[in-house]
């Protein structure tokens, strides 16, 4: 299992916070996954997608058509959520997410996918959440959630 010292830097924020703001740091893994797809009705495709795996609860989010998020060299001071998912487990979760994507309905019969994530290429970093009143704002996307929903992040 990883510990908080293995996580370096944070995903570059789109929203800046004010000095003295209450910050919550969520550990995530940025996992590059190579995807090779073949199908009966389509040409073979090969590409790399980035899967962001939450290191607290293991929830994956696939980034398509976007570049890999930039990671800054340092992270701010704040409350750090615990790490519950290992680097190896994060790579397996990312492979599973990339494999199952686009496999709904009848297309699952006509498409074959092969995926590979290398554990040594996994990047461990932080996402910064900004607390203001009873809401939390994701500094990378600007999405706001109720502060009580942070329990969903902490409880895997």
Q: pLDDT higher for 121 or 6?
A: 121
User: Under a CB-based contact definition with an 8 Å cutoff, are residues 71 and 10 in contact?
Assistant: yes
Q: Write down the mean pLDDT value for the chain.
A: 82
* pLDDT > 80? residue 2: no
User: Under a CB-based contact definition with an 8 Å cutoff, are residues 17 and 139 in contact?
Assistant: yes
Which helix (H) or strand (E) segment holds residue 107: the answer is helix 107-110
* Interval 90-100: pLDDT, tens: 999 999 998 88
* pLDDT > 80? residue 53: yes
Residue with tokens 């009580």: 148
Look up the domain containing 119 and give its range: 4-154
Residue 122: count of CB within 10 angstroms of its CB: 19
Backbone φ and ψ for 32, nearest 5 degrees, come out as -80, 125
Residue 1: per-residue pLDDT:
55
* Count of structural domains, the chain: 1
Instruction: Show the DSSP H helices in the chain as ranges.
Output: 87-100, 107-110, 150-154
Q: What is the pTM of this model?
A: 0.85
* pLDDT > 70? residue 84: yes
* Interval 117-145: pLDDT, tens: 988 899 999 988 888 777 888 888 777 77
- At 119, is the secondary structure helix, strand, or coil? helix
Cα distance between residue 156 and residue 152, in whole Å: 7
User: Under a CB-based contact definition with an 8 Å cutoff, are residues 55 and 90 in contact?
Assistant: yes
Which helix (H) or strand (E) segment holds residue 96: the answer is helix 87-100
Question: pLDDT exceeding 90 applies to what percent of the chain?
Answer: 20
How many Cα neighbours within 13 Å face the side chain of 62? 17
């Amino acid at each position: 299992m990883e510990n908080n010292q293995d996580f370096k830097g944070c995903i570059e924020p789109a929203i800046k916070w004010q000095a003295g703001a209450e910050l919550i740091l969520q550990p995530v893994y940025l996992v590059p996954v190579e995807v090779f797809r073949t199908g009966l009705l389509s040409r073979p495709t090969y590409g790399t997608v980035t899967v962001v795996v939450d290191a607290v609860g293991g929830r994956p989010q696939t980034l398509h058509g976007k570049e890999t998020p930039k990671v800054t060299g340092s992270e701010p001071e704040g409350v750090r959520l615990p790490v519950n998912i290992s680097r190896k487990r994060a790579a397996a979760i990312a492979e599973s997410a990339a494999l199952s994507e686009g496999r709904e309905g009848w297309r699952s019969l006509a498409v074959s996918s092969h995926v590979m994530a290398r554990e040594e290429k996994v990047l461990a970093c932080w996402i910064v959440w900004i607390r203001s009143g009873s809401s939390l704002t994701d500094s990378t996307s600007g999405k706001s959630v109720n502060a009580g929903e942070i329990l969903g992040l902490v409880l895997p």
